[in-house]
Structure 1
Amino acid sequence: MNKLFSVIIVYKDTHKYISESIESVINQNFSLDKVEIILVNDKSSDNSKEIADFYQERYPNMIKSVESLGIGISAGKNTGLSYATGKYVNFLDSDDLLQSEVFSSVKNFFEKNSECKLAAIPMVMFENNRDPHMLNKKFTYSRIIDIRDEPQSIQLSTASAFINRDAISENFNESISIGEDTFFLTNLICETGSYGIVADTYYLYRKRIDNSSALQNTYENDEYYTRFFDIVIKGLYKKYRESDYSDYVENVIGYNLQWPLRKQNYPSTIDKEVIDDFYSSALKILMTFKTLEPIKNMKYISYHQKEYLLRLYNEVHGKKYRLLTFENDIILLNGDSKVDSISKLTVLPIMIEYVDESLVLIFRMASKFRNEDIEKINFYATYKGKKIKPSIKKDRVTKLLGHTVKYYWDFIFKIPQDKIEGNSNFIFYGSYNGVTKKIGLFKKDITREISRKTKLEYSKKILKVIKKNPEKNIERNIEKESIIAPKKIFEKKQTEKEPFIRRVLSKIKRIVIK
């Protein structure tokens, strides 16, 4: 009887998982005489081959155990294809699983969409991570996707795809062992301009607890930055740049490039020159995309990494960034679009503490303003009506593969202890080109926090005086101990909420204050 499905499983040293993968096919709610499994050994050094041979002996009419005719995952998949007799081919990874209704759902889909050459199913992670796969958003309902209408709906895995055998005109590229699916599927999908999605079943993708899978270690492999980039990224870019499917291919490229670019530092196992060449070439390709959308669709780089790429793209395409004043505000424009403004800015208080007789306040800023903009704007605060200039330093940075793209700025204010008053307002400002604007303080009431910290600081000093004079209920002349407490700091003893301060005040009969 002719087979409907050929499941090709290429394995290498996966003896812990391969039985479970095979069983997930055998246990389908589907007629097994319409299914074949081709187990391809890619030079395993463990007992995976013995497991494969065992299943062949147990299911001789269903399972073939064969040796790869080459080296690497691509050669293994091509070997499997040479044995496949089914109408539809799937490349199940040797540590993953198929949900029990996969074959039934895929068969029903192809019967309703006979012209479709490829159908994909959603991927759900398991073991170390139970999240849906990041490309599952397109699986809202089963349908045919026209990639010209939905260029962001990319499909990159042959493991979660079922392909009409007759539609495969070219084998996997055996010169690459990373991204072979991306290259193979993108070319295949671009031949027809469409593919199907089946939303009512799913593929189980194992995220190993020990992070030992090939995919989980991809970006520590220099092949990614050399052969994969040259053959897959550059190859697809050049081939489809002027085609009707360029938007789809640019989304494929953007998705693949975001993973190495999101790394803060260079992989220590790879030569810096290789990484630098990759970085400059990757940026060059991204900057020549037809639209911004593939960069906007990068969901797994940080906010500031994406802002940097978008800014570069806009500048390359003639939309310059300008810092200017407008309608009593300080704004950053990109072309005619507002990027950020001082009026919308907030800073985060990360420290309010006494250090060496001074109150130190540190605020951190992360905004869309460029590093050079921060250096042009005059930042200061007012306290008791007097202007205080901060010292400004660069704190941590955001990087793209070791290249700094954004600084986080710390603004450090110091106020001498004898200048502190409990009810004086602390206000943060930014000023540029004659315009001054108040800056929001994120979450905290700074004036109240200054008062609280000051009470604590004085209470600690008072407690030291008390410990030197253990007699009870005697008057304390705090001035003689060189502690000058501003009047409004301690005048409401009975309503004090801070337990430590309340305890200290309860020990004092009278405080001499100025």
Structure 2
Amino acid sequence: MSKILTVSIAAYNVGEYLDNTLKSLVDDDSLDKLEVLIVNDGSSDNTTLIAHEYEKRYPGVFYAIDKENGGYGSTINAAIAKATGKYFKILDGDDWYKTENLSGFISFLEKSEADIVISPYILFNESTQKESIVDKRDLRVSNLDAYYAEDGSVFRMHEMCIRTNLLLENKVTITENCFYTDNEYVFIPLLYANTVDKYIAPVYVYRVGYDGQSVSLSGRKKHWQDAAVVEKKLLECYKSRESQLSAASRGALSELLLELAEYQLINYCLIDDISQGKKELVEFDAFLKNSDSTLYKKISVKNKKVCLLRITNYLSYGLVRKMFISYFSKNQAGCS
């Protein structure tokens, strides 16, 4: 039987969580339509042992792919190259799916012809052990441009499922050895997608609330250069397709570019090396201004601290840096 859903699992030193992750995909009603690609990204723990155990236990469903470490994007690239399912969805090795909704989701995908299928997802807070459902999309249209005209925002990684042929036909590849590339996985396919559908039950459970994530303060300090790499690539991809996009699509996609650009400007204020932070902030801001003046101006409107940096010719960097560090030390996430 042909596979309906390929699940790409990014697995790097997730031995503590992986059995729970893989177990969540075992549903007798849907196994024959499911393909699970466990991409072991050079782990040094027991990740590969668990992956191969599932491959032996469920042949033709689970596949262990061992590779040298290449970062998150490399796991997606490896899985796309092997995928045979009609649709493609990703799953981090320390997250999981709602098993009770998996069979219905796959049946829905089997009937759908949309480029993108979205579904609600669940946030699981590691600290409080509480779950909350994220379901913000009131999808009443199947045309993606019409959806953007109504909602004006792009989807998040955890709610997206992408038609595999869309990825293959447009040669979608994700930057390797780089953090924040989940944004590429979301953004680049949306440059080519035309239709969208929604499955009403939550599928993905996203674990949050622990230090070391790339969006935590410590994670942002450690991987501060990577968001700039991603922003520059996405701007380049966007510019190459801009003339072929509707006004509604341009508006929605540019909002994600705005969010990432703001995120990176703030990163430059969080790193420990003050002189390097200021220097690279000025250079990145000049890049934004030269690449997309509209985007550049929108950031000043949205973020008063960035606006202050610009109108003082960055002389206020020290003050703004203290303000951002104080904010993130208290809140550990988000943008101000």
Pairwise TM-score range, normalised by the shorter structure: 0.7 to 0.9
Name the counterpart of 1:107.
106
Give the Cα separation in 2 of the matches to 1:39 and 1:183: 20
Residue 288 of structure 1 pairs with residue 286 of structure 2: no
Whether contact under 8 Å (1:92, 1:160) holds in the other structure is no
Structure 2 partner of 1:257 = 261
Change (3 A) 1:112 1:33: closer
Secondary structure in structure 2 of the residue aligned to 1:288: helix
Match of 1:7 in 2: 7
**Structure 1 contact 124–132 (Cα < 8 Å) conserved:** yes
CA change 1:61–1:112 in 2 (3 A) is: closer
Residue 110 (structure 1) shift: 3.6
Q: RMSD in angstroms over aligned alpha carbons?
A: 3.6
Match of 1:349 in 2: none
CA distance in 2, matches of 1:249, 1:106: 27
The 2-side partners of 1:189 and 1:108 are apart by: 23
Q: Secondary structure at the match of 1:149?
A: helix
Instruction: Indicate the structure (1 or 2) with the bigger Cα radius of gyration.
Output: 1
In the alignment, which residue of structure 2 is the partner of 1:229?
231
Corresponding residue number in structure 2 for 1:248? 252
Shift of 1:251: 0.9
Distance across 1 between alignment mates of 2:9 and 2:56: 17
Shift of 1:247: 1.2
What secondary structure is seen at the aligned counterpart in 1 of 2:200?
A: coil
Determine which structure has the larger helix proportion and give its number. 2
Counterpart residue number, 1:177: 178
Return 5+ residue gaps in structure 1 as ranges.
Answer: 313-369, 372-396, 405-514
Which structure 2 residues correspond to residues 366-405 of structure 1 after superposition, within 5 A? 399=320
The alignment's TM-score, normalised by the length of structure 2, stands at: 0.75
Q: 1:139 maps to what in 2?
A: 137
Name the structure 2 match of 1:274.
Answer: 280
Paired positions, count: 306
What does the per-residue CA deviation read over 1:184-227, in whole Å, with 9 as the maximum and x for residues that have no partner?
Answer: 43222221334333332242111143x12345414531432542
Partners of 1:165 and 1:109 in 2: CA distance: 15
State the match for 1:122 in structure 2: 120
The one-character-per-residue Cα deviations of 1:279-335 (angstroms, maximum 9, x if unpaired) are 44346667514995x887x6xx6xx448x48xx8xxxxxxxxxxxxxxxxxxxxxxx
Q: Could you list the per-position Cα deviations for residues 80-121 of structure 1 after superposition, in whole angstroms to 9, with x for gaps in the alignment?
A: 22322222121111111111244334335445642x022122
Cα separation, 2, equivalents of 1:269 and 1:207? 28
Three-state SS of the structure 2 residue aligned to 1:191 is coil
Contact 1:151 1:251 in 2 (8 A): no
Distance 1:117 1:79, change over 3 A: same
Distance 1:250 1:29, change over 3 A: farther
**TM-fit CA distance, 1:61:** 3.0
Q: TM-score normalised to the size of structure 1? A: 0.52
Whole-angstrom CA distance in 1 between matches of 2:227 and 2:181: 14
1:83 maps to 82
Q: How does 1:476-491 map onto structure 2 within 5 Å?
A: none
Shift in CA distance, 208/109, structure 1 to aligned 2, threshold 3 Å: same
Per the alignment, in what secondary structure is the counterpart of residue 91 of structure 1?
A: strand
Percent identity of equivalent pairs? 19
Letter in 2 for 1:20: N
Task: Find the residue that maps to 1:173 and give its secondary structure.
Answer: coil
Task: Name whichever structure is richer in strand by fraction.
Answer: 1
Q: Deviations over 1:210-258 (max 9, x none)?
A: x1234541453143254223223x3244324444232122111122233
The letter for the 1-side match of 2:23 is E
Q: Deviations over 1:158-208 (max 9, x none)?
A: x53222222212132344523333224322222133433333224211114
Q: In 2 relative to 1, CA 64–261 (structure 1 residues): closer, same or farther, beyond 3 Å?
A: same
Question: 2:327 corresponds to which residue?
Answer: none
